[in-house]
Amino acid sequence: MNPLLYKYETPFETVPFDQIKSEHFLPALQEAIKKGKEEIDEIKNNPEKPTFSNVCEAMEHAGELVGKVASVFYNLHSAESNDDLQKIAKEFSPLITEYSNDIQLDEKLFERIKEVYEQRNSLNLNTEEMRLLEKQYKGFARNGALLNEEQKEELRAIDRELSELGLHFGDNVLKETNDFLMLLDSEEDLKGLPESAIEAAKHLAEEKDEAGKYAVNLDYPSFVPFMTYAENRELREKLYRAFSSKAFKGNEYDNQEIVKKIATLRHRRANLLGYATHADFVLEERMAEKPQKVIEFLDNLLDKAKPIATKEMDELKTFAAEKGGPKAEEFMPWDYSFWAEKLKKEKFSFDAEELKPYFQLEKVVDGVFTVAKKLFGITFKERRDIPVYHQDVKAYEVSDEQGRHVGVFYADFFPRAGKRAGAWMTSYRDQHMVNGQDMRPHVSIVCNFTKPTPTKPSLLTFGEVTTLFHEFGHSLHGLLSKCTYESLAGTSVYWDFVELPSQVLENWAYEKECLDLFAEHYETGEKIPEHLIEKIKSTSNFHEGRQTIRQLSFGLLDMAWHGQDPKDIKDVGAFEKEAMAPCELLPTIDEANMSVSFGHIFRGGYSAGYYSYKWAEVLDADAFEAFKEKGIFDKETADKFRENILEKGGSEHPMDLYIAFRGQEPRPDALLKRAGLV
């Protein structure tokens, strides 16, 4: 029996990871697709007149088994991959793409949806029903339903190839990341690093069967401390060059031709559908609406941040030269983190390592759970009877104040060979209604935090603390959803709105009232001292100009790839340098390239959408002002945020939801003030 094809006999019908084997995925997908097609045939061949119920609602539930199988596969492919899954993905993804295209390009099915859509104003639909109808109609139109047969076939071919290229891109980055290991013979090579980082390097070497040595790799918990603290400039340079040249070496894992091909195919696809560029296609379904509006938004922030960032870099170069570091004209990218940390320490008497003993992972997790309880009245209880896909993963039951089941929450915190880099929230089941029954969500956050060592628990940097709050904010968006339709529930919102719940929650990590809930020294139990909290706040804007420029450079690079015809891009390195030139603050090196490992835009869902991080910062700064006005745990404000933002998903237009919460459209003033850009 294939466990993926049957009702899960587990607590809350959670995924039975302990029963699923690699060989189950393709047969399960093939069977699910067969069933999904039968469900579609029933809808399009229904002799009754098309109605919202027999077309739109039926469509919403068709293919649920395909979604169920695909969510398990793709989540494991990202968080617990192996050679088998990577091999399966090469067949799995084209099958999914072809199935989706078969539906989206089905003329008979589209005619029934179109008939309902054309009578929408006389159907007396509520807001969520109207959103579903519009989403389905636009989904078909935006996926080629209005094309002729020859164009539809071309679209199918493009989508199949894009699916395969995206997987190939991700596999290359993962292999390049895993293949690099910087082995060091002496602790002298790690001079300057905190004790915890030295111990982690020793532990990593032991894991690689290199006992007695030290190892540093390209995973963030290893890479970042070395770049920040290692006094050996040559080794910092070596590590930086390895990190910044992933998939850009001209070897079998090189992604240059892949990114050019992806951009070209996306542009051709947009043209086929009647859009000038891929960015025009994407932004039609975003709050920003048009590429020009995005460019104006980015340029406006660039104008404000560039003078401040330039001043910051001049000060840093002068400081480094005075302290025996490189001269200003010799200051390179691998010098930035090291000297910025020293300058911050001198200016604020601040050492980021001072904070780590107060941020033991388990206590920070308890802290975000407590924040959720104080704001939204929900509790988290670990359940060891819920299957997980790796021993590091923990599963929790989430309940409300009345003890009612809210959902299931998985937490996966540490890096390993089969997990891609970064941090993300995902789901195995989104909230939705079935025959009046509320099917509660199963969500997960996946991170790559500092691992425990034989002598120390996992102690987080403050950056990792804010990452945890960020991803947990996404999970609250999924967990607290109260929608009817799965395709509109939880995080199924416009991409430039989806970061609001995550980014707004980061603000709590800077507040004493919140830190006092969980920030205790892992050895003494002492609460984090007030002077360290003040340092967190006072240093939060340290080099904010440079950080803003960095984010803007990624947004501009994204728009360069997707806001024009990429046919003339011959040299990926030269193209990237030109696109990011307005944001350059330091010399660039020939072997460094961001594009070829920029998973957000070439594998994730952020193509022509990376600007949304900054866009959402405007929203989150403005939204947090509402909490600060009455207190960060004010129940009335939290209820308004929950009812108008977290519960509504994509059931209404995001601007309408935001105004319902805040009473006005978002203003950039709060962000500019918070960032020190005015």
**Catalytic residue IDs:** 471
Tell me, letter by letter, the H, E, C secondary structure of 471-496.
HHHHHHHHHCCCCCCHHHCCCCCCHH
Residue 591 near residue 242 (C-beta atoms within 8 A): no
Cα-to-chain-centroid distance, residue 148: 36
Tokens of 214: 């030290």
C-alpha to C-alpha distances, 104 to 10, 295, 551, 552, nearest whole angstrom: 34, 31, 35, 35
Task: Compute the distance between CA of residue 541 and CA of residue 676 in angstroms, rounded to an integer.
Answer: 7
Tokens of 420: 């891609």
C-alpha to C-alpha distances, 319 to 178, 191, 192, 227, 306, nearest whole angstrom: 36, 21, 18, 18, 20
Task: Compute the distance between CA of residue 416 and CA of residue 369 in angstroms, rounded to an integer.
Answer: 25
Eight-state DSSP code of residue 3: G
Phi and psi at 437, nearest 5°, equal -95, 130
What DSSP element (H or E) covers 375? helix 361-376
Residue 494 near residue 479 (C-beta atoms within 8 A): no
Provide the edge-to-edge strand list for the sheet that holds 394-399. 379-382, 394-399, 405-412, 442-446, 424-429
* Terminal C-alpha separation, the chain: 63
Task: Compute the distance between CA of residue 5 and CA of residue 21 in angstroms, rounded to an integer.
Answer: 13
Residue 514 near residue 371 (C-beta atoms within 8 A): yes
What DSSP element (H or E) covers 669? helix 669-674
Residue 67 near residue 35 (C-beta atoms within 8 A): no
Length of the chain: 678
User: Which conformational region is residue 108 in: left (phi greater than 0), alpha (psi within -120 to 50 degrees), or beta?
Assistant: alpha
Residue at 199: amino acid letter: E
- Is 622 strand, coil or helix? helix
- Residues 6 or more apart in contact with residue 381 via CB below 8 angstroms: 396, 397, 399
